[in-house]
Amino acid sequence: MIEASFMSYISLSILLFSIGIIGLISRKNIFIIYMSIELMLNAINLMLVTLSKYFSSMDGQIIAMMVMAIAASEAAVFLSLIVAMFRLKHSLNIDDYNALKQKGTL
Amino acid sequence: MGIGLLTLIIFLPLVVSFVLLILPVGMKVTRNVAFATTVVVFLLSLSIFFRFRLTDYMQFREFHPWITTYGIYYSLGVDGFSMIILMLITTLIPLGYLFLWKTKKAKGYWASMLLIQTGVTGALLSLDMILFYFFWESMLLPVFMIIGIYGTGNRIFSTLKITIYTIMGSLFMLVSILYLGVAFYNEFGVWSFQLSDLVQITTLTNLQRTLLFFGFMIAFAIKIPIFPFHTWLMQTYSNSPTGGVFILSSIMAKLGIYGIVRFVLPLFPHQYVEFAPYFVGLGVFGLLYFGIAALMQQNIKKMFAYSSASHLSFITAGIFSLNIYGMTGAAFLIVAHAMATGGLFLLNGTIEHDLGIRSISGLGGIAKKAPFLTLAFALMLLCIVGLPGTNGFVSELLIVFGLFQFNHYVGVISALTVLVAASFMFWLFQRAILVGTDNDVSKMKDLDIKEMVGIFSLAVVIFAMGIYPHWFLYKIEPTITHYLVDILKVGVGS
Amino acid sequence: MNSHFLAWIVLIPLISSLFLGLMHLYSIKIRKIPDFVFTTLALFAPMASFVLGVLFCIGLYEGASEYIYEPYTWLKVNGYIISMGFLGDRLSIFMTIFVTFIGSMIHIYASGYMKGDGGYGKFFSYFNLFMASMLLLVLANSPLIMFIGWEGVGLCSYLLISFYFTDPLNVVAGNKAFIVNRIGDFGFIIGLVTMFFYVGKLGFDYYALEEYVSLVPIPVLTFIGVALFVGAMGKSAQIPLYVWLPDAMAGPTPVSALIHAATMVTAGVYMVARFHFLYDLIPDVGVFIAYIGAFSALFAAIIAMRQTDIKKILAYSTISQLGYMFIAVGLGGYSTGLFHVFTHAFFKALLFMGAGAVIIALHHEQNIFKMGGLRKKIPLVYITMLTATLAISGIPPFSGFFSKDEILLKAYLHQEYLIYIIGLFTATLTAYYMFRLFFVTFEGKNYSDKKVGELSWSMKAPLVILAFGATFAGFVGLPEVFGAHNLIDSWLEAWSGPALHVEHVQEISLMLISVVAGLIGIGIAYVKFYKYDFSKEIKISGVVYNKFYIDEAYDYVFVKGLQKLSVFISVVVDDGIIDKIVMSISSGFINLGRRVGRMQSANTRAYAFFMLVGISSFSLYLILKLG
| Domain residue extents for chain B | 272-494
State how far the alpha carbon of C16 is from the alpha carbons of C9, C43, C112, C132, in Å.
12, 9, 19, 9
CB contact under 8 A, C602 and A21: no
**DSSP state at residue C309:** B
Tell me the DSSP string of C408-474: HHHHHHTT-HHHHHHHHHHHHHHHHHHHHHHHHHHSS-----PPPPPPPHHHHHHHHHHHHHHHHGG
Average pLDDT over residues C456-470: 87
> Residue C619's pLDDT is what?
92
Question: What 3-state DSSP class applies to C367?
Answer: strand
Is the residue at C546 inside a domain? Answer: no
Chain A residues touching residue C613 (CB < 8 angstroms): none
Sign of the C-alpha dihedral, residues B126, B127, B130, B136? positive
Partner-chain contact C574 B468, CB within 8 Å:
no
The neighbouring-strand residues paired with B73 are B65
Residue C432 lies in a domain: yes
CA pseudo-torsion sign B405, B406, B412, B415: negative
Nearest CB neighbour to C74, from listed B230, B232, B470: B470
Among chain A residues, the shortest Cα distance to C598 is held by A102
| Residue A59: Cβ within 10 Å count | 11
Give chain A's mean pLDDT.
Answer: 87
| Domain A10-93, second-level architecture | Orthogonal Bundle (1.10)
pLDDT range class, residue C539, cuts 50, 70, 90: low
CB C598 to CB A28 under 8 A? no
Residue C16 sits in the same domain as residue C126: yes
Confidence class of residue C450 from pLDDT cuts 50, 70 and 90?
low
What is the model's pLDDT at position B102? 79
* Residue C487 falls inside a structural domain: yes
User: Residue B229's Cα: distance from chain center in Å?
Assistant: 16
CA atoms of B402 and B397, how far apart (whole Å): 8
- C-alpha pair distances (Å), B235 with each of B422, C572, C584: 24, 16, 16
Statement to judge: residues C532 and C604 lie in one domain: no
Both C406 and C481 in a single domain?
yes
Per-residue pLDDT 10s for chain B (494 aa) are 467 888 999 999 999 999 988 888 888 888 889 999 999 999 999 998 888 887 777 888 888 888 888 888 898 988 888 888 999 999 999 988 888 887 766 778 888 888 999 999 999 999 999 999 999 999 888 888 888 888 888 888 888 888 888 898 999 999 999 999 999 999 998 998 988 888 888 888 999 999 999 999 999 999 988 888 888 888 888 888 888 888 888 888 899 999 999 899 999 998 999 999 999 999 999 999 999 999 888 888 889 999 999 999 999 999 999 888 899 999 999 999 999 999 999 998 888 888 887 788 878 778 888 888 889 999 999 999 988 889 899 999 999 999 998 989 999 999 988 888 888 888 888 888 887 776 677 777 888 888 888 888 899 999 999 888 888 888 888 888 888 888 888 777 66
With an 8 Å Cβ cutoff, are B470 and C75 in contact?
Answer: yes
* Closest by CA position to B335, among listed B480, B476, B166: B476
Which of C141, C175, C204 is at the close of a domain? Answer: C141
d(CA C474, CA B328): 51
Taking alpha carbons only, the member of B245, B379, B258 closest to residue B302 is B245
The whole-number pLDDT of residue A2 equals: 58
Inspect the interface and report whether the beta carbons of C594 and A25 lie closer than 8 Å: no
Q: Which of C590, C594, C612 sits opposite A21 (nearest CB)?
A: C612
Contact C605 A94 (CB under 8 A): yes
Q: How far apart are CA C74 and CA B470, in angstroms?
A: 6
**Chain C nearest-CA residue for B373:** C25
What's the rounded Cα separation, in Å, for the pair C423 and B428?
Answer: 42
Residues C290 and C377 in one domain: yes
Between C499 and C386, whose confidence is greater?
C386
Q: How many whole angstroms separate alpha carbon B81 and alpha carbon B84?
A: 6
Q: Kindly state whether residues C559 and C468 are assigned to the same domain.
A: no
Q: How far does C560 lie from chain A, in Å, by closest CA?
A: 44
Rounded to whole angstroms, the Cα distance separating B458 from B91 reads 9
Euclidean distance between CA atoms B265 and B253, whole angstroms: 18
- Of B9-18, B259-268, C370-379, C400-409, which gets the smallest average pLDDT? C370-379
Calculate the CA B488 to chain-centre distance: 24
Helix (H, G, I), strand (E, B) or coil at C85: strand
Say what the pTM is: 0.88
- Between B and C, how many CB-CB pairs are < 8 A? 140
Adjacent-strand bridge partners of B402 = none
Residue C68: give the domain boundaries: 1-141
Most distant CA pair in chain B, distance: 73
- B467 vs C contacts (CB less than 8 Å): 84
Domain termination residue (choose one: C115, C141, C167): C141
Answer whether residue C293 is part of any domain: yes
d(Cα B259, Cα B127) in Å, to the nearest integer? 11
Asked if C290 and C253 count as a contact pair (C-beta separation under 8 A), the reply is no
For chain B, the chains sharing at least 3 beta-carbon pairs closer than 8 angstroms are C
Chain A residues in contact with C590 by the CB 8 A cut-off are: 106
Size of interface A-C (CB pairs under 8 A): 38
Query: Which residues 426-445 of B have a C-beta within 8 angstroms of C?
Result: 426-427, 430, 434-436
How many other CB atoms are there within 10 angstroms of residue C472's CB atom?
A: 14
**Mean pLDDT, residues C364-376:** 78
Q: Residues C343, C484: one domain?
A: yes
Segment 62-91 of chain A within 8 Å of chain C by CB: none
- Given this model, what pLDDT does residue B242 score? 85
Instruction: Name the average pLDDT for chain C.
Output: 86
Distance CA C26, CA C143 (A): 37
Q: What letter represents residue C543's amino acid?
A: V
Exposed / middle / buried, residue A85 (Cβ in 10 Å: 0-12, 13-18, 19+): middle
pLDDT at C536: 62
> How confident is the model over C585-626, as pLDDT tens digits?
888 988 898 888 777 777 778 888 888 899 999 999 999 988
pLDDT of C468-511, one tens digit each? 888 888 887 777 777 667 777 777 777 777 777 777 888 888 88
Interface of B with C in 318-337 (CB under 8 A): 324-325, 328
Q: Which of C117, C141, C165 is the last residue of a domain?
A: C141
Note whether A94 contacts C: Cβ–Cβ < 8 A. yes
Shared domain for C503 and C591, answered yes or no, is no
Long-range pairs, A27-32, Cβ under 8 A, ≥24:
A27/C605, A28/A93, A28/A94, A28/A95, A28/C605, A29/A92, A29/A93, A29/A94, A30/A82, A30/A85, A30/A92, A30/A93, A30/A94, A31/A82, A31/A92
Neighbours of C620 (CB within 10 A): 10
Decide if C193 and B415 are in contact by the 8 Å CB cutoff: yes
pLDDT at A106: 45
Q: How many CB atoms lie within 10 A of CB B64?
A: 11
- Of the candidates B324, B339, B293, B313, which has an alpha carbon nearest to the alpha carbon of residue B413? B313
**Residue A4, Cβ neighbours under 10 Å: how many?**
10
| Cβ atoms of residues C319 and C238 within 8 Å | yes
Q: What is the pLDDT of residues C172-218, one digit of tens each?
A: 899 999 989 999 999 999 999 998 888 877 888 888 888 888 888 89
Nearest-10 crossing angle of helices B107-125, B129-138: 160
C371 with C484, same domain? yes
The residue length of chain C stands at: 627
The C-alpha torsion from A50 through A53 and A55 to A59, rounded to 10°, is 90
Specify the pLDDT at position B24: 84
Residues on C contacting A at a C-beta cutoff of 8 Å = 590, 593-594, 597-598, 600-605, 608-609, 612
Residues in chain C within 8 Å Cβ distance of A26: 605
**Residue C288, Cβ neighbours under 10 Å: how many?**
16
CB contact under 8 A, B411 and C193: yes
At A104, the pLDDT band (50, 70, 90 cuts) reads low
The 10s digit of each residue's pLDDT in C7-53 is: 899 999 999 999 999 999 888 888 888 888 888 888 999 999 999 99
Nearest to B231 among C175, C566, C582 (CB): C582
Q: Do C602 and A99 touch (CB under 8 A)?
A: yes
Within 8 A by CB and 6+ apart from A84, the residues are: none
Is 60 exceeded by the pLDDT of residue A1?
A: no
Q: Subunits that touch chain C (at least 3 Cβ pairs < 8 angstroms)?
A: A, B
Give the count of domains, chain C. 3
pLDDT in tens, C214-257: 888 899 999 999 999 999 999 998 988 888 998 888 888 899 99
C235 lies in a domain?
no
pLDDT (tens digit per residue) in C520-538 = 999 988 888 777 666 665 6
CA distance C551 to C357: 29
pLDDT tens-digit readout, C115-149: 888 888 899 999 999 999 999 999 998 888 999 99
Specify the pLDDT at position C366: 82
Q: Is the torsion defined by CA of B220, B221, B225, B229 positive or negative?
A: negative
Q: Is there an interface between B and A (3+ Cβ pairs < 8 A)?
A: no
